[in-house]
Structure 1
Amino acid sequence: MAKIKKKGTSGQAKNFITRTQAVRKLQISLPDFRRLCIFKGIYPREPRNKKKASKSSTPNTTFYYTKDIQFLLHEPLLRKFRDQKALAKKIARSLGRGEVGDASRLEKNHAPKLTLDHIIKERYPTFIDALRDLDDALSLLFLFANLPSSAHVPPKTIALCQRVTHEFQHYLITTNSLRKSFLSIKGIYYQATIQGQDIMWLVPYRFVQRVNGDVDYRIMATFVEFYTTLLGFVNYRLYSTLGLRYPPKFDTRSDENGAELAAFTLEGRTVGEAPKAIEANKQTNKTSNQEVSREVQAKVDKVIKSAGLDRTKDEQVVESTEEASDAIDKFEPTAPEADTLPQPDLSGDQAGSLFAPFVFYVSREAPKAPLEFILRSFGCTRIGWDAVLGDGAFTHDETDTRITHQIVDRPSLPEASLPAIPAASEGAVQKVRPGTRIPGRTYVQPQWVWDCINEGKLLRADLYAPGATLPPHLSPWVKPTRGGYDPRASLAEQEEEGEAELDEESDSDEEMEDATEEKKADTKEESEAESEDEEDINGGMDVAETDDDESGSEEEEDEDFGGFEEEAASESEDEEEAARTQHQKELEAEAAGLPFSSGGAAGESSKKKSAQAKKIASKKRKEEEELERQKMMMSRKKRKLLEKMIYSNKKQSEEAAKLRSKRRKLEKGEKGGQK
């Protein structure tokens, strides 16, 4: 007889453990258990069957893997948590006795310090793993760097987040690793490429933040503690690869004056030689690989010579492989109807030379911090701003003749509404009256900087002039798909055949309907007014209808009845019906007071449009019939899959058509306004 298994010793009951059981097994409190799980990267799991995984009759909601909890039993942080708990008991006992000095001494000298270095090394065995997990870390640290200090968020945490994020930004500036950025509703998205890894993070706008009480800041502070340690390790590794000293020199007084990035001074190897050091490492690796390949090729040549084979083709292959160029290849589609291939990003040299020859001045209303970071990341070394925005500027004088571009975020106002500027005292920087333009300088709005770096080239500055309607700011990560709406392309390139004519007809029909409804409403009001007058004349008594009205209504009903001839309608009848509807539209337009065409060129154009619409409809009908024939030959599974694909494509095409019609109306309105 087989041995009976005991319940809860195998299957899901053995693989999963509840949170209460895990806390009891580790002998720590629930907040410490949460902190430990965040540090170690252990998260709740969802079993397939909660009833089988739960060992009690009451349904549990939170489960963990038993192996994960078993792994936590050997964590050195458990002893630290227990030491903290014992110290808290001693401090509470001293305070209960009134020994305040002993309590402060215990807290100051005997508090255990938590170090997460071993956890970072354990969770990220290679540096590439740490770079891949840097997206959420940067987003959270930049968020806390912009928060105001409060009881939940201490000033030390905010200062630490600001410091490690500025250090990371300095590395991106030095190596020109920033590639793309996008202004969204949530904040500013950035993307950088470090050692072949694309890292994207979000930086909130610098508005006044209101710290709400519905957010658990204890959990977020635990993540911040872990992420600051992680980013510190990453910054140290990145700086050491460039030969720079870490941490960089930090000027506290300059930081208090609002210098931010300028408060840091990089030391070690010359900052300008950092990209050269990266290229030197690549060249050494390349030469070593070439030496190895030459040794292998020499051995292969000996074998070929001993075999007596011709090696001209092999020489050509080797020569072609040895030729290497640093230029980025451009991928072109093989056929015009093929999909557009994703193009590679900018190289470091191209990014570092985009804004290098220019001198920028940031006006007071423009966001200084993101503009300074982006301009410096793309090669600009001389950036000035007003002294109110803080220290670290190339110049505080707006009238400096070296300035080539000025970033302005306010429209041009009339001179009468501009305030007067008082005379500058001796030694003070000369100020410029707001709204005035210095000749020989290019004035642009901040969006010009973002669009230039996303396009990888300098765009026309006149399109981004102060007060001008800006072009659409598009996300650099959303690529146009076939059949979708592309805001960069013109309407003629992406609209279907006859789409514009059909849209114009529908618009004209809507205008006619609106005009007729207005006319009917006016006539109804007039008839109501006349009936009120008749009632006043007749003393409020109803007047009986005559037999002529009844006979007229019967005749109208007889005229409306068309019999059963509609089933065998021919093309001539269709033409008569079209002419009748055209005549009806002309009568409605005449009644509404709108211009109409009784014949001539306008009538011919309307006939051509209607004929073209009929051709398009017949073509679509034939395509649908052909598709139905093809679906009959498919299996049921493939037919269902095809129907889903057709449905999704149709939905996408309808959305694209709506966007195109909206754009068509806007362009039509702009042309009408220009006229």
Structure 2
Amino acid sequence: MAKIKKKGVSGNAKNFITRTQAVRKLQVSLPDFRRLCIFKGIYPREPRNKKKANKGSTQSTTFYYTKDIQYLLHEPVLQKFRDHKAFAKKLQKALGRGDFSDAKRLETTQKPVIRLDHIVKERYPTFTDALRDLDDALSMIHLFASLPTNENLPPATVANCARLVKEWAHYVIRAGALRKSFLSIKGIYYQAEVGGGQEVLWLVPYSFAQNVPVDVDFRIMHTFVEFYTTLVGFVLFRLYAIEGLVYPPRFDKDADENAGGLGAFTIESRGAAGLFTTGDQEKKRAEEAGEQKDVSKQMATLGAKIASLTNEDSAASTTAEPEQEEGGTSREDLTIDTFTPAASSSDPLPQPTSSQTTSTSTTLFLNTTFYLSRETPREPLEFLLRSLGCKRIGWDAVLGAGAYTEDPSDISITHQVVDRPPTFPPPSAAGNGSAPSVTPSTATATTGRVPGRIYVQPQYVWDCINAGRLLPPGEYAPGALLPPHLSPWVKPGEGYDPTAALPDVEHSEGEEEEAVEDSDNGMQEDLASESEPEPAPAPPTATAPIEDEPSEEEEEEEEESEYQRELAAEAAGTKPPTPSEQAMKKQKKKNKAKMTRQQREEEDQKEMKKVMMSRRKRKLYEKMVYSNAKKEGEVEGLKRKRRKLEGRSKGKKGGRGGEEV
């Protein structure tokens, strides 16, 4: 006879464990259990059969993998939590006795310190794995760096996040890794290419006064930040080492207090760049003096060595030329292969790029000198311009220290970023069509501008980065209507494209009425339309599809059948259809009535194919159709709104033109 299998010892009941059981097994408090799970990257799981996993109970419960909880039993941080609990008891006892000296001694000597270095190495065995998980870490650190300190946000945490933010910005600038940026409602998105082609995307909030919400559990967020700061510190150390830089960079406290920003950090190179103490410098000078003494001996044999090297190079070149001829290609003929997709409807393949193409964007503003007006955001503009090669950036003294120049009339400035409309009209607008002669000395006083300088709005910098070239500055002049700022990560053809021309679609009756009401000469158009006779309707052509319109009797029969279905649903105890569902059904029937015979056949074939699908595939297909229809509806709404705005602008122009005539 086979052994009887007990209930709850295999399957889901064995693979999953509830949160209460996990806390009891680890012998820690619930907040410590949450911290430990965040550090180790362990999250709740959803079993397929909750009833079997909960051993017959239907109560709503949070489940974890049993193997994950078993893995936590041997975690060194778990022992640190227990040590901290014992330390808290001793500290509380000393404070209860009033022995503050003993309490201070306990805090300085016996307080356990939690190290997360080994957890970072466990979760990210390779450097590429750490770079792939850097998006959320950078976004969280930038968020905490912009928040004010309070009882939930310690000053040390905010200062540490601000330091890591500046160190990351310095690396992106030094490596020329910035690729794209986008201004959104949430903040500013940046994308950099680091670690040999790994793309990192992070979000930086705007530098406004932040109101800390009261309904956010900052204990959990602080746990994430505690782990993320350790992770970003490891990554920055490796990235700085790859670039040959010293980490951490030297920090100037006085410059930081004067709002120096990126200028408060000094980047130093390893090796011969000067990272030596006084003793090391003396040894280095002695070694250089000894090398200079032996130069005379080396020069005697230098000619023979050069002659031998030239002979070897010529021999190597003669032997290498036949091999190149046999292979058919040389080093100069090597080019990067391009891959074309097999089908036109498929996604485009990412093409490989050489170092020359990727380095062109890093020198975009190399030969320019920018000046930032006081109303412009200094930190993001300085970061973007320095990332693209601009070495000379000036700003007003109100924005902080560290500017190339604080004089707005400096003749070396080529571009000035302005975020306000011009205070004075241009000279050509004054007078009766003839522009008065303006000398350079009086140009600044009359127009508020320096001759020969390009004035642009801040969006110009972002659009140049995304385009990879210097755009014409005329569209970004102060006070001008800016072109649409599009996301660089949206592929062309996906969704609404504001740069594409609208198709010639007839307006609906409501849109035509609004356009007529908004226009200034709408009354004249109405009078003209009343005076003109209405054209006779054109006879239907033979090729036009014949639409089957339902008669009044069919409509009455449909209403009667709908009423009978509602009565049957009430008698059966089921829920009758809502008015919205009824309206959708009627709309579908009307649309089907307006279809041609060929369209009806295609629709019937689709319905037959849906019937032959399995339940899972049919639901997936319906979700896909619903999401596509929703996206198309949003796109059509944006197009309708744009069409309406363009109609209003045309009406206003026409009205002004009529008044001028």
Q: CA deviation at 1:245?
A: 0.7
Give the distance between the partners of 1:362 and 1:4, measured in 2 at CA. Answer: 81
Matches within 5 A, 1:333-348: 347-348=357-358
Q: CA deviation at 1:388?
A: 1.3
Matched letter for residue 602 of structure 2: L
Give the distance between the partners of 1:616 and 1:231, measured in 2 at CA. Answer: 68
Stretches of structure 2 lacking an aligned partner (at least 5 in a row): 274-318, 426-443, 549-593
Closer, same or farther: CA 668–391 of 1 in aligned 2, 3 Å: same
Q: CA deviation at 1:70?
A: 0.8
Closer, same or farther: CA 612–145 of 1 in aligned 2, 3 Å: farther
Matches within 5 A, 1:266-415: 266-269=267-270, 315-316=327-328, 319=329, 323-325=333-335, 347-414=357-424
Superposed CA RMSD in Å reads: 4.0
Matched letter for residue 71 of structure 1: Y
Matches within 5 A, 1:127-146: 127-146=127-146
Match of 2:428 in 1: none
Task: Find the residue that maps to 2:199 and give its secondary structure.
Answer: strand
Task: Find the residue that maps to 2:181 and give its secondary structure.
Answer: strand
Closer, same or farther: CA 435–3 of 1 in aligned 2, 3 Å: farther
Q: CA deviation at 1:59?
A: 2.6
Give the distance between the partners of 1:374 and 1:129, measured in 2 at CA. Answer: 27
Match of 1:595 in 2: 529
Give the distance between the partners of 1:24 and 1:590, measured in 2 at CA. Answer: 83
Report if aligned partners of 1:590, 1:596 keep a CA contact under 8 Å in 2.
no
Give the distance between the partners of 1:125 and 1:212, measured in 2 at CA. Answer: 37
Q: CA deviation at 1:443?
A: 0.7
Report if aligned partners of 1:176, 1:348 keep a CA contact under 8 Å in 2.
no
Q: Is the aligned partner of 1:486 residue 2:420?
A: no
Greater Cα radius of gyration, structure 1 or 2: 1
Closer, same or farther: CA 411–29 of 1 in aligned 2, 3 Å: same
Q: Is the aligned partner of 1:668 residue 2:641?
A: no
Match of 1:459 in 2: 471
Report if aligned partners of 2:511, 2:644 keep a CA contact under 8 Å in 1.
no
Give the distance between the partners of 2:201 and 2:260, measured in 1 at CA. Answer: 25
Match of 1:229 in 2: 230
Q: CA deviation at 1:96?
A: 1.9
Q: CA deviation at 1:643?
A: 8.1
Matched letter for residue 388 of structure 1: V
Closer, same or farther: CA 594–651 of 1 in aligned 2, 3 Å: farther
Matched letter for residue 25 of structure 1: K
Matched letter for residue 668 of structure 1: G
Matches within 5 A, 1:429-578: 436-481=448-493, 484-491=495-502, 495=503, 499-500=504-505, 502-503=506-507, 507-508=511-512
Match of 1:283 in 2: none
Q: CA deviation at 1:391?
A: 1.3
Match of 2:152 in 1: 152
Match of 2:11 in 1: 11
Match of 1:208 in 2: 209
Q: Larger deviation: 639-648 or 49-58?
A: 639-648
Q: CA deviation at 1:21?
A: 1.7
Give the distance between the partners of 1:445 and 1:156, measured in 2 at CA. Answer: 37
Q: Is the aligned partner of 1:260 residue 2:261?
A: yes
Give the distance between the partners of 2:347 and 2:547, measured in 1 at CA. Answer: 27
Stretches of structure 1 lacking an aligned partner (at least 5 in a row): 273-297, 303-310, 416-431, 516-588
Give the distance between the partners of 1:271 and 1:392, measured in 2 at CA. Answer: 27
Closer, same or farther: CA 2–350 of 1 in aligned 2, 3 Å: same
Match of 1:659 in 2: 638
Q: Larger deviation: 615-624 or 394-403?
A: 615-624
Task: Find the residue that maps to 2:180 and give its secondary structure.
Answer: strand
Sequence identity percentage: 57
Task: Find the residue that maps to 2:17 and give its secondary structure.
Answer: strand
Pick from 588, 596, 601 the counterpart of residue 621 of structure 1.
596
Q: Deviations over 1:467-508 (max 9, x none)?
A: 1111111111122337x53212222xxx2xxx43x2277755
Match of 1:240 in 2: 241
Give the distance between the partners of 2:374 and 2:271, measured in 1 at CA. Answer: 32
Give the distance between the partners of 1:182 and 1:114, measured in 2 at CA. Answer: 38
Q: CA deviation at 1:621?
A: 3.5
Task: Find the residue that maps to 1:399 and give its secondary structure.
Answer: coil
Give the distance between the partners of 1:475 and 1:337, measured in 2 at CA. Answer: 22
Closer, same or farther: CA 438–54 of 1 in aligned 2, 3 Å: same
Q: CA deviation at 1:115?
A: 1.0
